[in-house]
Amino acid sequence: ATNRTLTMIKPDAVRNGHIGGILEMINAAGFRIVAMKYTKLSPEKAGEFYAVHAARPFYGELVEFMSGGPIVAAILEKDNAVEEFRKLIGATNPADAAEGTIRKKYATSIGENAVHGSDSDENAAIEGSFHFAGTEIFA
């Protein structure tokens, strides 16, 4: 069945001029963009988004990085969207990311890894509502 995932083009990729290149790869892989915005997370909102990682040693760094510049948030639709998108973005650490993935091409480090993708259907729904009101989603 068609379903959805939430992506963010992270501050490193925005800063490095890769919004267009990443959206191109997303389109070419057959995802439909059903919601999208250019925005910036406050440290509080970034902390809330990544609350699940609050106990990790990299949490402070992650929140600072994700609130350090503008991002592009989008909801993407495709059959098996969460899994298919995680394939397209590649491993969290770009050193482990497969050829042809977004992170292989655009990520610089495990922390500054260019894109986010939801890790489950449940989180995709939570993260979608975090960034978008129902009136901002156009299926």
DSSP 74: E
| Helices within 1-139 (DSSP H only) | 11-15, 19-28, 43-49, 59-66, 81-89, 102-106, 121-131
31 is in an annotated binding site: no
Applying the rule CB under 6 A, the residues between 69 and 98 that interact with ligand CMP are 92
Taking the complex as a whole, the smallest distance from the CB of residue 65 to ligand CMP amounts, in Å, to: 8
Give the number of residues written for the chain: 139
Binds ligand CMP by CB under 6 A, chosen from 113, 127, 128, 132:
113
Q: Is 7 annotated as a binding residue?
A: no
Catalytic residue, chosen from 18, 53, 116, 131, is: 116
Question: Was 105 annotated as part of a binding site?
Answer: no
Whether the Cβ atoms of residue 131 and residue 33 lie closer than 8 Å to each other: no
* Touching ligand CMP, residues 5-64 (CB under 6 A): 53, 58, 61-62
User: Which among 30, 41, 2, 3 has a CA at the least distance from the CA of 124?
Assistant: 3
To the query of whether residue 116 is one of the catalytic residues in this protein, the response is: yes
Residues at the interface with ligand CMP (CB under 6 A): 53, 58, 61-62, 92, 110-111, 113, 116
